[in-house]
Structure 1
Amino acid sequence: MPVYPDMNPTQPSIIHCADQPYVAIGGTVTMRTIGEIADRIPAVFGWLASRGIAPAGPPFLRYTVIDMSSHLEIEAGVPVATEVPGDEDVRPGVLPAGRYVTVTHLGSPEQLVSVVRAVLEWGGERGLRWDREDTPAGEKWGCRLESYKTNPVIEPDMSKWETELAFRLAD
């Protein structure tokens, strides 16, 4: 994998994942306003808690359409054990089963653009095909995730945050 300054990613690996139900709040943002969606993760946790539903894993951002120069269609989600009905604020979904390339990054989320670039290069060097297509709206991804394994309330030092990236491969 190419090495970028100030990065501490693990070596990418290919894993098989089953379908994973989740609930999320989504929207369209720019690179500058991505925090507007990420800041909604506590609302998803609150929605789950008000219904007595326990999360089945760490929160994530799911990128569905990416046009880096214009906008990103994105969801702030939390996995759940079984599918649940949504409402007007929180919608249900299912992350698709399949093969994924994953990598874990220890460090600031601000470094993730470089980590993503390195993972995509790593996959390209191995002839992997991503579950994505170019559309007039931008790159449409079958599943591209950033899972946040560190609670910022417990660990405020961003240089110690652990984030797992996952990119679904084409069938």
Structure 2
Amino acid sequence: MPEIVKREERPYVALRGTVAMDGIAAFADRMGEVIGWLAAHEIAPNDAPFFKYDVVDMEAGLVMEIGFPVDDLHHGEGEIVTGVLPAGRYASVTHHGHPDGLLGATRDLLAWADEQGLEWDAQGDKWAARLEVYKSDPREVPDMNDWETELLFKLKD
């Protein structure tokens, strides 16, 4: 069941790109680039990796980031960007299962918020923070059907 949670701001480091709907998996495969950049700069992630959807346009494609929360704000380079996940209220739900089920979980979360009369912190297709947080470590949970993913979509203050 979805719920509303309050979150503090969190600095992060990520890889940013424009991705077609059918290119999300290939973009996700580039997470190693973020891990390598963090290691080269001796920066340790302090929480689970996430996908951040900055622009969601089903026809033109997505502007998204894959990254990790870190302790302090840093400066990126090239496709590696840094930023701060904003503080505030988020609609949250946890999906148990294969990431293929996230489309349905997202649809259900959007519908729930609509039923509750909640407003997103978004301007058209551009979101302040629309996250998928991958709680399961693939080294510990190799079967994607057993993964746990939290959806966190920022609500308007």
2:72 is the alignment partner of 1:82: yes
SS of the residue corresponding to residue 54 of structure 1 reads: coil
Q: Which moved more, 1:117-126 or 1:36-45?
A: 36-45
Bigger shift: residues 75-84 or 150-159: 150-159
Contact 1:101–1:168 (8 Å) recurs in 2: yes
Report the Cα offset of residue 17 of structure 1. 0.9
Cα deviations across residues 58-100 of structure 1 (Å, max 9, x unaligned)? 1111001111123011011110011112122411111111100
Alpha-carbon offset, residue 125 of structure 1 = 0.8
Q: Distance in 1 between matches of 2:75 and 2:54?
A: 21
- Whether 1:20 aligns to 2:6 is no
Instruction: Give the deviation of 1:154 after TM superposition.
Output: 2.6
Report the counterpart of residue 42 of structure 2 in structure 1: 52
Q: d(CA) in 1 for partners of 2:44 and 2:55?
A: 28
Question: Contact between 1:145 and 1:166, CA under 8 Å: does it hold in 2?
Answer: yes
- Aligned partners of 1:124, 1:90: CA distance in 2, in Å? 34
- Report if aligned partners of 2:17, 2:79 keep a CA contact under 8 Å in 1: no
2:128 aligns with 142
Letter in 2 for 1:20: R
Paired-residue identity, %: 48
The C-alpha deviation readout for 1:97-148, integer Å capped at 9, x for no partner, is 11001111110000101000101111111110011122xxxx1111000011
* Alignment RMSD: 1.1
Where does structure 1 differ by over 3 angstroms across 4 or more consecutive aligned residues? none
Gaps of 5+ in 1: 1-10
Q: Which moved more, 1:139-148 or 1:34-43?
A: 34-43
Q: Does 1:121 align with 2:111?
A: yes
Please give the alpha-carbon distance, in whole angstroms, between the structure 1 residues aligned to 2:32 and 2:140.
14
TM-aligned CA deviation for residue 152 of structure 1: 1.8
Distance in 1, Cα, partners of 2:53 & 2:37: 21
What letter is aligned with 2:40?
S
State the number of aligned residues.
157
1:93 and 2:83 aligned: yes
Q: Comparing both structures, which one devotes a greater share of its residues to helix?
A: 2
TM-score between both structures, scaled by the size of structure 1:
0.88
For 1:67 and 1:87, how far apart are their aligned partners in 2? 26
Query: 1:36, CA displacement in angstroms?
Result: 2.6
Q: 2:2·2:109 contact (CA, 8 Å) conserved in 1?
A: yes
For 1:30 and 1:20, how far apart are their aligned partners in 2?
27
CA shift, 1:37, in A, is 2.0
